[in-house]
Each structure stands twice: as structure tokens, then as C-alpha cells.
Amino acid sequence: MMLPDVTPPAGSTHQRIDRDEALQLLEAGNLLELGRRADRIRRTLHPENMVTFVIDRNVNYTNICETKCSFCAFYRDKEASDAYVLNQEEIFEKIDELVRQGGTQLLMQGGLNPELGIDFFEGLFRRIKNRFPGLQNHSLSPAEVVCIASHAGLSVHETVSRLKNAGLDSIPGGGAEILVDEVRGSISPKKIGWRQWADVMLTAAGLGMPTTATMMFGSREKPGDIVEHLFRIRDLQDAGGSFTAFIPWTYQPGNTELGGTTASGVEYLNVLALSRIVLDNVPNIQASWVTQGAKMAQVALFFGANDLGGTMLEENVVAAAGCSFRMSCEEMVALIKAAGFHPAQRTTTYTIIREFTD
């Protein structure tokens, strides 16, 4: 896949940096200066001093997965005693609870289970849309889409089109890890390559579907790989992508085959700030309180982040690695106010639903 080397997008407020400068900032930049630079960009893009979040739930419909990534503590073999596939009534009960709490976003993701074909998802998504028409179905990852397409003998375009017609509204950027195949081959050799990930995202964008992008770092990548990931996201957005937000988060080694240690808070803030500086064409940067906790999420709001993602009524993938932060809507609002910002509940596509004022 050839991506264009283009000039800064219309409305860009700072000089677009290149890979060499980005690598220098990551490896030798001053953390506080990097933070100040990212914060200036955030204030320019979001001058209203508002920090947003969405009320959502992550429904992990199955933990059976054929890729068996070494960094993942969530997956199970089909024969495992704790392997599962949620039935539709179990899924609907979880969605009912989400809607009762004012939720607007459903995030459904699971393992790559070859026994769940496209008919399973089309039927499920139609029932969800009929029963919960106001809910944004922000589900599946590019890896799941490719798995569904492969087992159905369909192209990615055919698969995404059919899922969209059945009720899939947008696609989250999970499974990106590091968009460098040498790294992917080391930590997840059975998973899709970065070009397949990109193909799903550009296909969704071409069909008018919003998407997000993520990055899991702190496993086996080098600084240059992090930089390459960021520039590939930027290039994809230039090429017609529909990324509404970018979410960098740190690898959690607990209970995984890969093991090792997680990135430090300083490393997290460095990467977060660099993300805001590089991704001048992605409007929102999310802080990962799910992996960093509430206090670091507050600090992240001064290092380029303007959004705290979802309240996540439920989350099982990161929790399986022993990282289990939780936050209610009230706690989210209090956290944002304590940092000196104006809290607002948003939709998946960043339409403001409610502002929380004294």
C-alpha cells in the first residue's frame, strides 16, 4: 500500500514535523517541553477548555481466539474450561444495563473465533439496532473483520458493507498494536499485518463510517517503531481515513506469555505528547485511564489529551492482565473538574450531549 507524502492539512496550526524530528523528540526530548508543546496544540484545537467522555460498555462476546497473541491474557482455546461465547440474551442484558445508565456507545470485541461467521454478526447487529436504535454500535476490530471475511470467502469491502447494512455504525482501532510487521511478527505472528489493518480502516472510511486508531506500546518495539506507527496513522488519515481519535496505551504484562514490564509513566506521557504533535490531522487524543489510572489521566490532560474515552461499564481484556481500574460517570466528571477543565458527555462521533456545570 503506497500512501502519499502530503503537505499539512487545511487548518493546520503548526509546522508539520517529519520522522527524524519525531524520533529525536521521543529519544532525547525534554518531557516538560514536549508536554508544553503538545498542550499548546490541544488548546488551539480545543480552546473551550472542555474534556469529553462517552458512557459505554465493552461487551467481549467471546474469549475463544485462534491467533493466541503472546501479549494477550484474555484469549482461550476452545477446549479451555473457562472458554465462552455469550448468547444473544446475555448480550442484550448487558446492553439493557448500559442504556439504563445513559450509555450511548456499545463496543463489542472478542477473540478471533472461526465458528462465528458473518451470519452470526449480521443477525446480532440487526437485533441490536432494532431493539436499541439510539445506540452507536462501535464494534469489531480490523482483525475481527478480516477473520470474518476470510472464513466467509468475502472481500473486506463486501464484509464491511454487509456489517454496516446490518447495523454496524463505526469501527474501533483495536488490534493495531504497533503498525510495523517486524514487531507484529514477534508478538502476534498469526495476526493480520499492518496493511490489512489499514485496508479495513480505509474501506470503512470510504463507506462513510467513523473509525478510531490505537497503539499498544511497551512490549518489544523500538522508538523508531513507535514513530513509524504514528506516521502511518497520519498518512492513512491524509489518504482519506476517518479517524476521530487516537488512543495510545501501554502493554500490560500480567498473566501473559510475553511477560516483561510495562512502560513507565514518563514513557507514557512522552508518547502521548508526541502523538498530539505528530497527528495534526486527528482531532482528538484520548488518555488511557483504563491502563494508567485516574491520577495519570489527569496529568495526561496537560500533555495533549482532550478526551478520557469511555466510562467502560465493563472491560475484560485489559483486566485479564491484572489491570482493573474502574470509573463511574460521577467519578469521571469529578476527575475532569479537579484538573481544571469543563466535563462534557459526548457521542462516539464527538457530538456533545451534556455539559456538567456547577
- Residue 294 has what pLDDT? 87
pLDDT in tens, 281-294: 999 999 988 878 88
Top pLDDT among 13 and 307 is at 307
Region of poorest pLDDT, from 1-15, 181-195, 211-225, 266-280: 1-15
Contact, 196 vs 204, CB < 8 A? no
User: Residue 136 has which C-alpha cell?
Assistant: 452507536
- Residue 44 has what pLDDT? 97
- Whether residue 28 is predicted with pLDDT greater than 70 in this model: the reply is yes
- Residue 261 has what pLDDT? 72
Contact, 151 vs 116, CB < 8 A? no
- Residue 325 has what pLDDT? 52
Q: What is the pTM of this model?
A: 0.91
Contact, 167 vs 128, CB < 8 A? yes
- Whether residue 263 is predicted with pLDDT greater than 80 in this model: the reply is no
pLDDT in tens, 139-173: 999 999 999 999 999 999 999 999 999 999 999 99
Q: How far is CA 136 from CA 108, 151, 167, 316, in A?
A: 11, 26, 9, 20
- Residue 251 has what pLDDT? 85
- Whether residue 250 is predicted with pLDDT greater than 60 in this model: the reply is yes
* 3 state DSSP class of 94: helix
Give the mean pLDDT of the chain: 90
Rounded to an integer, the average pLDDT of 232-247 is 98
- Residue 259 has what pLDDT? 62
- Residue 71 has what pLDDT? 64
> Which residues does 243 contact at the CB level (< 8 Å), separation at least 6?
173, 201, 211, 212, 213, 233, 236, 237, 282
Top pLDDT among 54 and 257 is at 54
- Whether residue 3 is predicted with pLDDT greater than 60 in this model: the reply is no
Rounded to an integer, the average pLDDT of 94-115 is 92
Contact, 71 vs 216, CB < 8 A? yes
- Residue 255 has what pLDDT? 67
- Residue 14 has what pLDDT? 60
- Whether residue 12 is predicted with pLDDT greater than 70 in this model: the reply is no
Contact, 62 vs 109, CB < 8 A? no
Percent of the chain whose predicted confidence (pLDDT) is above 70: 89
Distance CA 157, CA 162 (A): 9
Percent of the chain whose predicted confidence (pLDDT) is above 90: 72
Q: How far is CA 66 from CA 10, 77, 141, in A?
A: 43, 7, 15
Domains by residue range for the chain, with CATH: 19-355 (3.20.20.70)
Contact, 74 vs 320, CB < 8 A? yes
The DSSP element (H or E) to which 344 belongs, if any, is strand 342-346
Confidence of residue 4 (pLDDT cuts 50, 70, 90): very low
Residue among 244, 298, 249 nearest 271 (CA):
249
